[in-house]
Amino acid sequence: MKRVCSLVMAGLLVGSAGLAAEPTPAAGDAKVGRETFLKSGCDQCHGREGQGSPTSGPKLGPSPPPLAAFTAFVRRPPQQMPPYGPLILSDGELADIHAYLSSRPPPPANAKLPP
Ligand code: HEC
């Protein structure tokens, strides 16, 4: 009985260690996404870091819309943005871009900016 218990405990430990190593499965590859973001010209309107510009495109990072909404938007933007169909950018490539934008560092808090 003692042996069974320790086996179960070991199993639980290994199981939770596995979970700790991978908190959330990555939906896309941020490094590849950066290349695709630049190659596709998203940066021309949204800036290299997805920081946005008052005249050409809104800020996209570090909190883009959830992947499904992001993909739906890019496929059929309702206003000025050009559409990117699946032949131009696959769902996987959009997931990579989404991962890149999500990985952007947050801007510094206002209190930390020099006066
Ligand atoms: C020609 C300029 C231009 C290019 C190129 C462009 N966008 Fe946009 N994007 C815009 C504008 C302008 C908007 C604001 C909504 C609109 O007018 O359609 C926008 C909005 C968005 C939004 C919605 C943001 C939000 O929070 O509502 C997403 C997501 C987005 N763009 C992603 C992309 C991605 C990814 C690419 C490259 C594949 C891209 N855009 C290329 C101009 C551009």
Residues 47 and 38: their CA atoms lie apart, in Å, by: 9
**pLDDT tens, position by position, 37-69:** 999 999 999 999 999 999 999 999 999 999 999
**pLDDT tens, position by position, 75-110:** 999 999 999 999 999 999 999 999 999 999 988 777
Computed on alpha carbons and rounded to an integer, the radius of gyration of the chain in Å comes to 20
Atom 23 of ligand 1, residue of closest alpha carbon: 73
81 lines ligand 1 (CB under 6 A): yes
Is 23's pLDDT higher than 90? no
Torsion over CA: 107, 76, 44, 39 (sign)? positive
**pLDDT tens, position by position, 24-33:** 445 799 999 9
Q: What is the pLDDT of residue 109?
A: 78
Among residues 71, 60, 57, which one has the least CA distance to residue 27? 71
What spacing in Å lies between the alpha carbon of 17 and ligand 1's midpoint? 40
What spacing in Å lies between the alpha carbon of 100 and ligand 1's midpoint? 15
Of 80 and 14, which is predicted with more confidence?
Answer: 80
